[in-house]
């Protein structure tokens, strides 16, 4: 699908004039393409769900979640992965089918687990032995059966920034594969009257470009499944291999097709299960960024242009850290285009700075642009994942609006926050 093109002087994103969008809805502005999201869902079905038997896919909603996104994912027939009471509540408000929800999290509160059990979510992904005890207590009180997966840390480290690496042994996520710990967790779940263990889950990290780490982790998990069968006679029904498939942010990224990852996972599952003589479980994947990341762009308006001779030219925009914390958080790198001058040849090296009172509020270091000046519109690409979901009101900046593009139509699916919104939950004690 052709996502961006330049016509005359203006940048078009999936057929929509980005300069017109910025002028109509204001900036900063998150822009999301429903067509790209659905195209990714179709690719997921073709290259995984329809290609292999006994497979499922869940959208990892932490990447981007609104009620509208819930409806898109529901209509595409995918499961929904949530990690908090807030995400679960969003799905509830959107009337997403609760039996298609998988509830993750390394420290779910008692209240969150109660909510999940009350609403009959499809799976709770247990992250600790302590959580099994809590689930037993709640399920017993409510006289309900709870289906779970046990998340394990397989000891495989994906090549990514350490802040988004999750599969290594030293991780806050999952139960370590240590004798005396993992077997206690499994035994506790198996013998419970109110818990039904369905299988296991692992996640290696975010934005990975190497299939071999998935193959290695699958091999470790199949060995675990075999050992659990030999030890307890338990047959694993499901294995969730997580997500983390890398997308395009800049020219240094070695982007692969989805099948590069899923074929490797399924080949290893099949061969290793056959080798060990065990039944092949249902295989689940959880792409999030891969579905929504390249479906989004962010539009900014240029303000101050500050040239420091023989040092650097800073081009400041009307957003930054609060609407995209990823560059400051783990040095994420983006590409951008001056949307109202996209036909002009880049001739100047600049740094795109945000407007917050933080030296680290830099969106892009060393971007080649044409002559750039106050009032120009800058389009930063591949911002569909982890931008809105990680946004904040730092420096009391209102969060941007989100516009969804659907073929030739535009819909505001999240309105722009106002100054009144910023103080709406505040109060002043009497006497002050």
**Which residues are tagged catalytic?**
357
Quick check: 300 and 21 in contact, CB under 8 A?
no
Give CA angle at 320 (316, 322), nearest 5°: 150
Q: Which two tokens stand for residue 218?
A: 């699958």
The residue ranges of DSSP E strands in 61-138, in sequence order, are 79-82, 101-103, 123-126
Give the span between the Cα atoms of 163 and 235, in whole angstroms: 34
Give the span between the Cα atoms of 162 and 233, in whole angstroms: 37
Give the span between the Cα atoms of 226 and 276, in whole angstroms: 7
Q: Which residues are CB-neighbours of 31 under 8 A, at least 6 positions away?
A: 13, 16, 18, 21, 296, 297, 298, 299, 402, 403, 405
Question: Which residues are 176's β-sheet partners?
Answer: 153
Q: Which residues are CB-neighbours of 36 under 8 A, at least 6 positions away?
A: 1, 3, 14, 294, 295
Give the span between the Cα atoms of 234 and 250, in whole angstroms: 46
From first CA to last CA, the distance across the chain in angstroms is: 59
Pick from 55, 74, 80, 8: which is nearest to 287 by CA?
80
Cα 130 versus chain centre, distance: 26
CA distances from 21 to 34, 156, 203, 297, 370 (A): 16, 44, 37, 12, 21
Pick from 194, 259, 299, 243: which is nearest to 81 by CA?
243
Quick check: 325 and 392 in contact, CB under 8 A?
yes
């Amino acid at each position: 699908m052709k996502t961006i093109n330049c016509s005359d002087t203006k940048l078009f994103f999936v057929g929509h004039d980005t300069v017109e969008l910025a002028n109509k809805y204001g900036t900063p502005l998150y822009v999301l393409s429903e067509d790209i999201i659905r195209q990714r869902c179709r690719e997921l079905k073709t290259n995984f769900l329809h290609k292999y038997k006994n497979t499922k896919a869940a959208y990892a909603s932490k990447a981007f979640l609104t009620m509208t996104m819930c409806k898109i994912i529901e209509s595409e027939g995918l499961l929904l992965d949530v990690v908090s009471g807030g995400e679960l509540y969003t799905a509830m408000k959107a009337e997403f089918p609760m039996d298609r929800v998988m509830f993750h999290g390394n420290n779910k509160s008692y209240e969150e687990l109660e909510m999940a059990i009350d609403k009959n979510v499809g799976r709770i992904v247990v992250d600790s032995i302590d959580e099994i005890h809590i689930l037993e207590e709640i399920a017993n009180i409510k006289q309900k059966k709870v289906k779970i997966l046990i998340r394990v840390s397989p000891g495989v480290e994906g090549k990514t920034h350490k802040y988004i690496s999750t599969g290594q042994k030293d991780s806050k996520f999952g139960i370590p594969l240590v004798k005396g710990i993992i077997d206690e967790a499994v035994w506790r779940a198996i013998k419970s009257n109110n818990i039904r263990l369905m299988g296991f889950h692992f996640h290696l990290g975010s934005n990975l470009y190497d299939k071999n780490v998935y193959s290695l982790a699958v091999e470790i998990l199949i060995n675990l499944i075999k050992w659990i069968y030999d030890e307890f006679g338990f047959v694993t029904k499901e294995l969730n291999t997580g997500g983390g498939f890398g997308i395009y942010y800049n020219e240094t990224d070695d982007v692969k097709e989805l099948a590069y990852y899923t074929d490797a996972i399924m080949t290893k599952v099949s061969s290793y299960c056959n080798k060990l003589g065990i039944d092949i479980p249902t295989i689940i994947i959880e792409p999030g960024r891969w579905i929504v990341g390249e479906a989004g762009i962010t539009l900014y308006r240029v303000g101050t242009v500050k040239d420091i001779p023989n040092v650097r030219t800073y081009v400041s925009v009307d957003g930054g850290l609060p609407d995209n914390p990823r560059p400051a958080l783990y040095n994420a790198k983006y590409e951008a285009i001056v949307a109202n001058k996209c036909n002009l040849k880049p001739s100047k090296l600049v740094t795109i700075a945000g407007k917050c009172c933080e030296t680290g509020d830099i969106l892009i270091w060393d971007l080649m642009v044409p002559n750039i000046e106050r009032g120009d519109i800058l389009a930063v690409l591949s911002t569909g994942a982890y931008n809105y979901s990680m946004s904040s009101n730092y420096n009391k900046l209102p969060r941007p609006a989100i516009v969804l593009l659907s073929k030739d139509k535009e819909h505001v699916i999240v309105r722009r926050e106002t100054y009144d919104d910023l103080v709406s939950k505040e109060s002043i004690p009497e006497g002050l």
